[in-house]
Amino acid sequence: MMSDFGKYKKADLFQAMKRAGVPVVNKDTKKILLEKLESHFKSKPAQVVIIQNFLEENGSGLVEGEEITVIEDEVAAKEEIPVANDAGDDDEEEDEDDDEDDEDDDDDDDEDEDEDEGEDDEEDDDDVVIVQDDDAEDKDYQAPPPLNLKEYIVDPIITHSENLIEKFYEITDSFGFSTLETTEKIRDHLSSSVTLNNLEISFEFLIFVYNFIYIVPLNENSLIHQFFRDNIPIFNSTYPSIEISGLFNGKAITTFTIWLISAIILPSTISYFINFTSRIIEIEDDEYLFRIHTYDPFIFALAKTLIYYFVGQSSVINFSKHECFWSSLQNKILMNLGLYNTTLSSTLGSLPYIFGGVNILIALYAQFEEY
DSSP string, 171-194: HHHHHHHHHHHHHHHHHHHHT-HH
pLDDT by residue (tens digit) across 276-296? 887 767 777 777 777 778 888
pTM, to two decimals: 0.49
Closest by CA position to 5, among listed 47, 237, 358, 118: 47
pLDDT by residue (tens digit) across 88-115? 444 444 444 444 544 444 444 444 444 4
Q: Per mean pLDDT, which of 111-120, 161-170, 244-253, 260-269 is the most reliable?
A: 260-269
Check: CB of residue 229 under 8 Å from CB of residue 235: yes
The pLDDT of residue 128 is above 60: no
Instruction: Please report the pLDDT score of residue 16 as a whole number.
Output: 77
Closest by CA position to 336, among listed 264, 239, 252, 214: 252
Distance CA(54)–CA(148), nearest Å, equals: 33
Do β-strands 240-243 and 214-217 pair in parallel, antiparallel, or remain unpaired? antiparallel
Q: How confident is the model at residue 270 (pLDDT cuts 50, 70, 90)?
A: very high
Q: How confident is the model at residue 364 (pLDDT cuts 50, 70, 90)?
A: confident
pLDDT by residue (tens digit) across 193-222? 888 899 999 999 999 999 888 888 888 888
Distance CA(200)–CA(262), nearest Å, equals: 14
